[in-house]
Every structure is written in C-alpha cells, then in structure tokens.
Chain A
Amino acid sequence: MTAAKSERLLNLLIMLLVSTRLVPKSRIREILYADASDEAFEKMFDRDKEELRSLGVPVEVGQIDAYFDDEPGYRVKPDEFALPEVDLTADEAAVVGLATRVWDHQRMARATTEAVRKLTAAGADIDLGALDIAQPRLPADEPAFDVFFEAILERSAVEFDYRRSGSDSTTRRRLQPWGVTRYSGRWYVVGHDLDRDAERVFRLSRVQGEAVKVGPPGAYAIPEGTDVSAVTRRLAPALSTEPVVLLVRTGAALPLRRAADRTEPGVPGPDGTEGWDRLTLLRASVGIADEVLGLSGAVVVESPERLRDEVVGRLRGVLAGEGPVGDR
C-alpha cells in the first residue's frame, strides 16, 4: 500500500518536473489515476499535491488556456525544486559537519541532519565524526520554541497565554513574531504585539500551555533591518559604574574572585583577624547584591554605600519578617 502510494507520488513529481509547460489535470488523471472514480481522483490528487508541497516541492498551478479557464494545469520548475550548486571545499565540509552538533534540540538538530544529507546527496563529502573541542551548544528547552521559530519563518501571528514575572495570572497575547534571541540561557521572542500595538519582548519559558499559530502565513512583513541583537543588549543587566570593594574570607567566594580586577590579600577583616582579602570590581553586574547575599558570612561590602545598605537592609528584612510569613 505504502509502496504503491510512494510510486504514485514520485511519478506525479517526475511528470510535473520534466514537463516544460503546465500539465493538464485530465492528462495527470489519465496517466496516474486511471482506475479512480471522479470523486476518488479529486480527493487523491488533492492530497498528493499537498503531500508533495509539504515536502518542499514547489507545485505550481495555472490555467492552461487564458481564454477558457476550464482546466487547470500543474508543473514543478526544476530550478525551484532542486538545491542549487553548493560547492564545498574539504575544510568547509568539515565545518558543516560540526554545525550538525550545535543544536541541543531535537527538531532543529534533525533539520541540520536533513540539510547535511541533502548536501551529501549533491556530492559533498561531509565528515560527521570530525573532532572539535570548543563546540558551542544551543539548547532550546522551552516547549514554545518550535512554534515561534516556524511562525517567524512563515510570518504567521501566534496566540499564547503569558505569565509576567512575579504575576500569578496569565493573559492571552497575540504577537507577530519578528525574531528570537538567546540571553543568559533563555530564549526570548521579539515582535509586534497586536493588542498593545507596539514592539514587545516575551520570555519563552513564561509562555503557559500551548502557543498556536493563527491566521495565514505571510500575514505581515518584518520591518526592514530588524536586528534582535539590539534587544539582547537591552536584556543584559546594566553594569554598575562605581567600583565595588568587598572583603572576602581567604579561600572563599571563587566566582567573585574571578570577576575581581584587583585583589589585596591578607587584610584585617570585620572579625579582627587577617584571614581576609580585599577585592575591587571595577564594573559589577546589578545582580551583585544577590551574589553577595548568597555568599553571606564570607563576604562584606565596604563600598559603595548604596550596595552596603541594600545588603544590610535585606538581611534585616529576614530578621524582621518582612518577607513571606513561612515559618514565622
């Protein structure tokens, strides 16, 4: 059954591919669907065309005769069907092989593997076992990733439920996605929010439930020159401009030591001993207070005053029961 259908699909493709002009529907029926009733033919032919299209075959439809529009015709133009010549040198082929191992995401990894098979079929010799050490990995664990990625390629709007940071409830959003960007291990989508009528950024991990494409493909144009890396830069937390000076217990707080621009070892600490080092960070991230608090007991802020006050204030908040009630 499968083999018979595969034969029919392939023969249909060949027929449309070798013809220099539109092939009349009646001729297609006569050659490939001779045994089918009218109704069965219509159904089968429609489905077969769609299956070829879903494989990426550009099936073109037109009127055979401009004056009598009673009979449609079909064809596949060879130069639209076939992969253009991609001549890869040996070192280029090796790089292509490496690219298949970058995506840590089933759908995208499969797409690169499929691309490499096509390039191989076109004559390239791609070594998939080439050894490379500094191999980047691109995970995309957010379930909504596939839908947004496809929607960007197709220019389809997407509808989804979104939960803002710190919020309890979700809201229904409609977005024309322009691009995706990865920052600090998370994927974000940028696009035109149809309800707010403005550019918006959404974190894919906060999309709740299933995101769905709505409306036809090609529904909008992405503004010329859109560059999502500008959005990525906006997402990056600003760095403090004042230097941060910390006292750190000897041997502790390796991450802060790595980030330090200056280290003065063996200085007297707040406990009166000399088992402390003074670190200076010329540009610290705005998350420095969280980091210092996480290393409580081993790190004390000397300056700036503002950071010292924040850390002290938050520790007092714990003792004063300012947070959630929890165990108190």
Chain B
Amino acid sequence: MTPAGSGAKDQVARLLTLVPYLHSRGSVRLAEAAEALGVTPEVLLRDLKVLFMCGLPGGYPDELIDVDLDALVDERGRAQGDAVVSVSNADYLARPLRLDAVEASAMIVALRALRAGAAPETAEIVDRVLAKLERAAAAGPTGAPGLAPGLVDATPEPTPASTRALERRLAEACRRGVQVEMDYYVPARDEVSHRTVDPRGMVHRDGHTYLDAWCHSAEAPRLFRLDRIASATVLDTPVTSEPAAPRDLADGIFARADDVTRVTLRLAPAARWVTEYYPVEDVRPVDDPAEPGSVDVDLLVADRRWLTKLLLRLAPHAAVVHPVAWGADLTAAAQETLGLYFGVGGVDSGRPIPTT
C-alpha cells in the first residue's frame, strides 16, 4: 500500500487518480473508493475537501469541481464508510495521469515474468495485456525513452512441471487443513527423512518456493523447499497443531536458531563467494602476505555437518580457524573419501595417482 503521504505533492497525486476513478464509476461508497486507492476513508475525505476549491481559472462557483460530500461524515465529523460519493464538473480530469517510466517498466517486466511460467492459454492473455500496455507507454510524450523490450531479462528459471503440480497439491492441502506425509531431502545430512506435517501455507523467497508447516518429527515449525521434497502424499487426517499463518520471509529464511555456534572460517579468494550467499556476521581481511586476498569470516552455524559439507565443496580454499576441533571434521571427511577412491591407506587400485 502506498503510504498516504501528507505532503501536497502526494495529495495531488492521489487526487489525479481519485477524480477519474469517481468520474468513470459515477457514485461509489466511500469505503470502497478508499480501498481501491489504498488509503483510509479519513484520508480520502481530506483529499476530497481539497477539490471544493479547485476548478477552472476564474473562480466562479459554477466553474468549480462539484463534490457531493453531504452524507460523508456523521454528526461527530467522522468519515462514514457507507456514504456514497460522487464528483462532477471535472471532465478535464476524467482520465488518470499516464504511467510513468518506472510504473510502466515494472508492469512490463512483471508481465514478462508471468508469461515465462504460464500455461499457453494464459501466455496468450499476457501477450494481449503486454501489447496494450506497451502501446499505452509508447504513445507518451517524446523525450521519454522508456524501456525497449530487450533491456530487462528477468525470466525466472523455469519451474519443472512436477514441482508446479506438487505446489498445487500442497496449496490444496493448506486450504483443506489436512496433513501431508512426505519424504524430504536434508542436504546437511545428505539423506531423505520421512515425516508428517501440518501445512500452513506456501511462501516464496529468493526464487524458491517453500511449504511452511508444523513438523511432527521436529515438533517445531519448519520450511520445506519444494525441490527437495522427494515425494508427498496428502492425507485425509485434519491437522492437529494450533493453526498459524505462514510466516513472512521478508527478513530472510535464516531464522536465528537458539542453538548456534559462532564459527570463524578462513577463505581464500576462490571461496569468497560464500560471503555473498550466506548471512555472515563479520568479514575481516587477513593481514598475512603469505595469503593474499584471504578473509576471515564469522558465521553462525546450527549444524556441524552442514559446515563440513560446505568446506568440502570449497576444498581446498576454506579452513576452520575457530573452533579448532571442527577443523578435524574436514580432514577426516577428506581422508574417508580418498579411501573410497584408493582403498584404506590411499593405495590406488590400479589407477595412476594424480600428482598434486
């Protein structure tokens, strides 16, 4: 919702939408008009009062905009949502202001993103809307260069049809308030776990879709990323946990768990991307000419196994500085894996050992 700015500029912007809105609809309930314009009835009433003194230059009463306001306040001056409002004598403001460059482009980019994931029949509708909006934006005053079609590419990575079907089934389970049984892949442990959950809703963040649910195995609310659900069955049993709205992920999905360890990692330049992908607490350059470009990074880690997997992924460009004991996990895992390639003791089973 647009903040109902109190400045004159914001008020004029609202009026330039309000007048054509009322003009095109005749009479509208105050509450309905307020909702359509994203303001409270009180703000709308205050805006309408400005119109009393506006009109054609000259200042004759019959040249002013006519606002039918009579029944809009009760005897104590409060806005009456059910009262009906209309505006006349304002034909020159019958059309809203054209879309500005940001509004038009934000719409066009959003529509193109919708189109990318849409079924063919929806894509055809999106194309019609795009054509109409692009025409409306292009007819603008010269000098506004705007947004040519090739300048923004925000095509979301395609969602596999199987994930979309899963999302539909899970959304239906949320709506019906029934439990879901699923096999869920946990990357930190690299294993599939079986669990029953009470779904609460679907949430989106950073290009991923999650099911927010109460997990009966964990006895806590959990987020399940859809592409990690190996299989799911919607049950007929109603949910048993206290119903709750799906959480707001505006602050990120990394809710701070209570049981975390502050870990310091040393990252060589090749591993520095970590600081851009995970919420890090602190980054400090390493003051050692032997390690140019390395940084020390503090990270809050809830699962020690997750950290080892991350370090293996980065091998050999990352190491644990603190706590020292955690560093041993990495070397143990590296040794164990090399054992799978060459047998215990690192003796090759006939393959040449690559020199390092």
Residues of A whose CB lies within 8 Å of any CB of B are 2-3, 5-7, 9-11, 13-15, 17-18, 31-32, 51-52, 54-58, 77-78, 80-84, 86-89, 91-92, 94-96, 98-100, 102-104, 107-115, 117-123, 133-139, 141, 149-150, 152-155, 165-168, 178-182, 184-185, 205-206, 218, 222, 225-229, 231-232, 251-255, 258, 269-271, 290-291, 293-298, 300, 308-309, 312-320, 322-328
Contacts and interface: CB of A to CB of B under 8 A. Distances in A.
Contacts of A313: 354, 356
A18 B17 contact: no
B147 A2 contact: no
Given A10-B50, A118-B17, A323-B319, A133 B331 contact: no
Interface stretch (B73-81, B114-122, B213-221): B114-122
Nearest to A108: B106
Contact of B151 (A92, A134, A178, A318): A178
Contacts of B109: 103, 108, 138
A110 B291 CA distance: 46
Given A2-B8, A254-B185, A81 B313 contact: no
B205 interface: yes
A265 B232 CA distance: 23
Interface residues of B, number: 141
Nearest to B290: A325
Contacts of B269: 165-168
Contacts of B57: 11, 14-15, 18, 31-32
B287 to A, nearest CB: 11
A133 B117 CA distance: 11
B319 A138 contact: no
Contact of B150 (A87, A149, A227, A255): A227
Interface string B1-42: 110001111011101111011001100000000001110000
A81 B97 contact: yes
A152 to B, nearest CB: 6
A185 B207 contact: yes
B319 A225 contact: no
A25 to B, nearest CB: 14
Given A99-B111, A229-B155, A222 B190 contact: no
Contacts of B11: 2-3, 6
Contacts, number: 392
B164 A134 contact: yes
B309 interface: yes
Interface of B: 1-2, 6-9, 11-13, 15-18, 20-21, 24-25, 36-38, 46, 49-51, 53-59, 92-93, 95-107, 109-111, 113-114, 116-118, 122, 125-126, 128-129, 132-133, 135-136, 139-141, 143, 145-148, 150-157, 159, 164, 167-168, 171, 185, 187, 190-192, 204-207, 227-228, 230, 265-270, 272-273, 276, 285-286, 288, 290-295, 309-310, 312-321, 324, 327, 330-331, 333-338, 340-341, 343, 354, 356
Contacts of B107: 96, 99, 111-112, 115
Q: Which of A113, A114, A271, A317 has the most CB of B within 10 A?
A: A114
8 contacts: A81-B97, A95-B111, A95-B114, A137-B156, A152-B151, A182-B154, A297-B336, A316-B356
B38 A122 contact: no
Contacts of A315: 312, 315-316, 334, 337-338
Q: Which of B141, B290, B340, B343 has the most CB of A within 10 A?
A: B340
A317 B318 CA distance: 11
Contacts of A55: 9, 12-13, 16, 97
Nearest to A301: B341
The 8 closest A-B pairs by CB, nearest first: A326-B319, A317-B316, A166-B269, A327-B327, A82-B95, A294-B313, A179-B151, A227-B150
B153 A232 contact: yes
A44 B276 CA distance: 48
B205 A139 contact: yes
Contacts of B341: 270, 300, 308, 312
A31 B2 CA distance: 33
